Amino acid sequence: MPRPLTMSTLTLAYFSGPRILSVGGYSTFRSIMSSHTMSMPPLTAPVWGASRFQSALRIRADGYQDRLPKTEYQRLIKNWLRRCCEITTGPVFFTFSEKWLADVEEAIRKHRLKLIQRCWWYYTFGQAAKVRYSPCVRPVYWLNDRRLFPEQIRVPSARQIKYNDKRAKAGGKMPDNLWEFSRVCGTFHEKRKWHPCQLPEQMIERVILGHSSPGDTILDPFVGSGTTVYCCDRLSRHVVGIDQSQFYLNKIREEHERREQCRIEGAA
C-alpha cells in the first residue's frame, strides 16, 4: 500500500532551483505540495514522481519550452522555499544561481524562514567570461533545522596534512562553509549526456551524510539528472524525486537499473 509522506517521515529536503523552470514542472510541484502529504510506494526502493503535465511548446529533445518571465520565476522561488520548509521539520538545503541571491534573502525574511547558515560551492572548471570576472561560486543555503552529524563529514585539517601538528584533532574538522567541488563537465566520464545540468555527487553526499541517517527519507522536488537518487541509494536512504520531465524520470530509472546490475555482478 502507498505510504503517505508527511512531516514525520520526511527527514531532509534538498533541491537546486531549475536553471530554466518548466511551467508544467512547477504545476506538478505545486499540486503535490499543496498539502502536507503525497503518496509514494512502500519504502523499499528509490521513488520517482511522474509528470502529469505536458507543455505544447518544445525545446531540446525532451519536448518542452519553459522560459518564464523574471517576475514569475522570482515569485516561484519564494514559494519553493516556503513549501519545502513547511513539509519537513528537518533541514532544507537549496542551491541556486547567484543572480537570485536577493530574491532568496527576501523570501527568507518575508516568510520568516529559519536560516541556519550560508554556504558557498566553489567550483573548478567553470565557464570563462569575456567581459566580466568568470563565475566560480554558487550559494548553498542551509535552512529550517540544525540537525547535523559532524562525525560523518569531517575532513583532514591543515594542521594534520600540512603541518603534522600533534594538536590536530585525530578525526579531522568540520568542512568550511566554502565547499570546493569540480563542476561535472561534458567531457567527464560521469556526465549524463541527456541532462544539461548535473551536480557533483560528492557535494550531494556531504549534505545527505551530514544531515540524515540511514533509512531516512530525502526529498528532491527537481530531481533532474537523478544525482540525489543515486546518492541516496548508495547511502541507504529512501528518496522521493519529482520532475516534470517523464524523459528524465525514465533515464534515471535506466541508470539506476544499470548501477544495480553492476553491483549484483560485482558481488557475484
Residue 172 lies in a domain: no
Give the model confidence (pLDDT) of 122-159 as tens digits.
998 888 889 999 999 999 999 999 999 999 999 988 88
pLDDT at 266: 80
- SS3 label, residue 251: helix
State how far the Cα of 252 lies from the Cα of 157, in Å rounded to an integer.
36
Residue 185 lies in a domain: yes
- SS3 label, residue 203: helix
Q: Which CATH number does the domain housing residue 40 bear?
A: 3.40.50.150
Residue 163 lies in a domain: no
State how far the Cα of 35 lies from the Cα of 86, in Å rounded to an integer.
10
pLDDT at 63: 54
Domain count, the chain: 1
Write down how long the chain is. Answer: 268
Residue 167 above 90 pLDDT?
Answer: no
Give the model confidence (pLDDT) of 64-74 as tens digits.
556 678 888 88
What whole-number percentage of the chain has pLDDT above 90? 37
Res. 207 pLDDT band, cuts 50 70 90: very high
Torsion sign over Cα 147, 150, 155, 158? positive
Residues of the domain holding 55: 3-147+181-267
